[in-house]
Amino acid sequence: MIRTYTKLITLPTFFERFQYLKLSGDVGVDTFGYDRYLNQQFYKSATWRQLRNHVITRDMGCDLAHPDFEIPGSIIVHHLNPISKSDVLEHSDYLLDPEFLVCVSDNTHRAIHYGDESLILDSEPIIRTPHDTSPWRR
């Protein structure tokens, strides 16, 4: 299944978006192994930094591009489809197309890769009502 940003943003809830992207990978399984330097070079390139800024602006710095989930700290731009060594070497379409990228928080990123919903359980926004912090007011 090829995941796309266009499909992702049609999903109304944060949890549905998470379910769409969840990979359920294994901790410690290397994607690049000894060739990790390749993706590190890529992520330091001017091309990536420019695209990263574009995606952050497009998503307004929100987790999974959901407007109710602004990311308060560092923003990760996540590839919706796992990339491989050949994607980096061949500059595949998945690598630099915003259609295959989305902003995520660190917890959401780890939850997507390891399928660990407990990392995002406290991510639901608090629904506020008038005077909810002052119980003596009605």
Tens-digit pLDDT profile for residues 75-95: 999 999 988 888 888 888 889
**What pLDDT is stored for residue 28 in this prediction?**
47
Instruction: Judge whether residue 101 has pLDDT over 50.
Output: yes
pTM, to two decimals? 0.80
Dist. CA 82–CA 21, nearest whole Å? 10
Helix count and strand count (H, E) for the chain: 7, 2
pLDDT bracket for residue 104 (50, 70, 90): very high
Task: Tell me phi and psi for residue 77, to 5 degrees.
Answer: -95, 115
